[in-house]
């Protein structure tokens, strides 16, 4: 069975090609590319990636305008039908703004743009995206963001923790995120948003390959399903 993954591109996306390359290298199948103005997704998708960048120039709020674009209505519908959706960095912001994930990403607490490789802990290895990691495993992924400060109210945070929906946590506080949350899952477990960039860490030659397992987990889980 051939893996069918799609990458959404908004005006201002700049990690869409890296995301497509990561999907292609891991799955061996070409990634479909979808422009934000489309109203429908390609048929029979196994995976949708909402990549990083600065959709619509971050005007108004990061991810806000992209989340109201025509294609996102289709992405929300697909996510609700159970299609796996991965949002990275600006993609995470788009997923919170679209209501697929709770909370919001705010300006980094230290106000500076952070661009470095950070250590993370895998908190949940029961999801489609994280099954190939060990629970508690420490990995390193690059971050590059100005607005990665995850905020949700205490009740929401307690619910996320209680339901095992915190997927990744920073080992050092890099942006002020509540409870050092770097990535979260939706209640059904088929939507993952995270600020670090797994697609930039799939080959040792590029400085690390700890992100590769995320794509391998998803591809393996979907092809086996």
In the set 23, 152, 166, 181, which binds other proteins (CB under 8 A)? Answer: 152
Catalytic residue among 62, 89, 97, 174, which?
89
CB-nearer residue toward other proteins: 29 or 104: 104
Neighbours of 174 (CB within 10 A): 23
Neighbours of 42 (CB within 10 A): 13
**Total residues in contact with other proteins, by rule CB under 8 A:** 20
Compute φ and ψ for 146, nearest 5 degrees. Answer: -110, -25
Of 19-27, 32-40, 71-79, 96-104, the window that binds other proteins (rule: CB under 8 A) is: 96-104
The reply on whether position 109 binds other proteins by CB under 8 A is: yes
Binding mask 29-48 for other proteins (x = CB under 8 A): --------------------
Distance, CA of 48 to CA of 37 (rounded, Å): 16
Binding mask 55-74 for other proteins (x = CB under 8 A): -----xx--xx--x------
Catalytic residue among 15, 123, 145, 199, which?
199
Interface residues for other proteins in 165-224 (CB under 8 A)? 176
CB-nearer residue toward other proteins: 33 or 146: 146
199 is catalytic: yes
Q: What pairs with residue 104 in β-bridges?
A: 151
CB-nearer residue toward other proteins: 175 or 190: 175
95: nearest Cα among 194, 169, 164: 194
Distance, CA of 45 to CA of 85 (rounded, Å): 10
In the set 90, 125, 130, 149, which binds other proteins (CB under 8 A)? Answer: 149
CB 120, CB 79: distance < 8 Å: no
197 is catalytic: yes
Collapsing DSSP to helix, strand or coil, 183 comes out as: strand
Distance, CA of 90 to CA of 75 (rounded, Å): 15
Helical ranges in the chain per DSSP H: 16-27, 64-67, 70-80, 90-97, 154-162, 212-224
Q: Give the binding site for other proteins (CB under 8 A).
A: 60-61, 64-65, 68, 96-97, 102-104, 106-111, 149, 151-152, 176
- Among all residues, which ones are annotated catalytic? 89, 197, 199
């Amino acid at each position: 069975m051939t893996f069918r993954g799609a990458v959404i591109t908004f005006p201002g996306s700049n990690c869409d090609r890296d995301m497509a390359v990561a999907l292609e290298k891991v799955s061996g199948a070409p990634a479909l590319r979808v422009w934000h103005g489309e109203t429908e997704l390609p048929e029979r998708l196994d995976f949708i990636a909402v990549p990083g960048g600065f959709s619509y120039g971050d005007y108004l709020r990061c991810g806000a305008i992209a989340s109201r674009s025509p294609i996102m209505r289709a992405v929300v519908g697909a996510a609700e039908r159970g299609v796996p959706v991965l949002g990275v960095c600006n993609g995470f912001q788009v997923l919170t703004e679209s209501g697929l994930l709770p909370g919001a990403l705010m300006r980094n607490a230290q106000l500076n743009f952070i661009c470095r490789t950070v250590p993370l802990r895998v908190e949940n290895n029961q999801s489609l995206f994280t099954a190939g990691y060990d629970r508690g495993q420490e990995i390193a992924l690059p971050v590059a963001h100005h607005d990665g400060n995850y905020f949700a109210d205490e009740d929401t945070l307690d619910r996320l923790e209680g339901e095992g929906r915190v997927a990744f946590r920073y080992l050092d506080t890099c942006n002020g995120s509540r409870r050092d949350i770097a990535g979260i899952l939706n209640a059904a477990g088929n939507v993952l948003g995270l600020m670090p960039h797994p697609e930039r860490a799939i080959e040792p030659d590029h400085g690390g390959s700890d992100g590769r397992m995320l794509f391998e987990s998803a591809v393996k889980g979907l092809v086996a399903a």
